[in-house]
C-alpha cells in the first residue's frame, strides 16, 4: 500500500469523493488487492491510472484484479490521471452517474427479493 496519494488521487479525493453523499474510502484492501477508492454501499471501485499502468505486466495485473472484483460484484471505473487533470467535471459526472445507476439497480434487486419473500 502506498503511504501517500498521487496528486491526481488527492485532487479527486479532496475536491469530490471525500464529501460525496455516499461514503467512499481511499486505499481500500479487497482480497489481496488495493483499490484507489471504494464505496461499499454501491459496490463501486474507482481506479486512477498513472504512467506505471502502461508498463511491464501492470496491464495484465489490472485485468486480473478487475476480473476478481467482478466475481465480488464490484464495478470498477477506471480513469487516467490525465482525465482527472483535464476533464475533472467529466470524471465526477461519470462517477456520480455510475453511483446512481448502481444504487437504483441494487434497490431494484432488494425490492425483487423482498416481494418474493412476502409471497410465501
Check: CATH 3.40.960.10 for 7-118? yes
- The per-residue pLDDT for 106 is 75
Least confident of 29-33, 73-77, 115-119: 115-119
What pTM, to 2 d.p., does this model score? 0.82
pLDDT tens for each residue of 27-67: 999 999 999 999 999 999 999 998 665 566 778 888 999 99
HEC string for 32-99: CEEEEEEEHHHCEEEEEECHHHHCCCHHHHHHHHHHHHHHCCCEEEEEEHHHHHHCHHHHHHHHHHHH
- The per-residue pLDDT for 109 is 63
Q: How many angstroms separate the CA atoms of 65 and 49, rounded?
A: 14
Q: How many angstroms separate the CA atoms of 59 and 45, rounded?
A: 17
Amino acid at each position: 500500500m502506498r503511504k501517500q496519494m498521487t496528486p491526481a488521487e488527492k485532487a479527486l479525493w479532496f475536491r469530490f469523493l471525500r464529501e460525496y453523499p455516499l461514503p467512499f474510502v481511499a486505499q481500500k484492501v479487497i482480497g489481496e488487492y488495493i483499490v484507489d477508492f471504494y464505496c461499499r454501499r454501491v459496490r463501486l471501485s474507482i481506479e486512477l491510472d498513472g504512467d506505471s499502468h502502461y508498463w511491464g505486466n501492470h496491464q495484465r495485473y489490472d485485468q486480473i484484479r478487475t476480473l476478481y472484483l467482478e466475481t465480488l460484484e464490484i464495478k470498477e471505473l477506471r480513469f487516467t490521471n490525465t482525465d482527472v487533470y483535464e476533464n475533472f467535471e467529466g470524471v465526477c459526472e461519470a462517477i456520480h452517474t455510475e453511483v446512481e445507476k448502481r444504487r437504483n439497480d441494487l434497490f431494484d434487486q432488494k425490492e425483487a427479493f423482498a416481494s418474493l419473500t412476502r409471497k410465501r
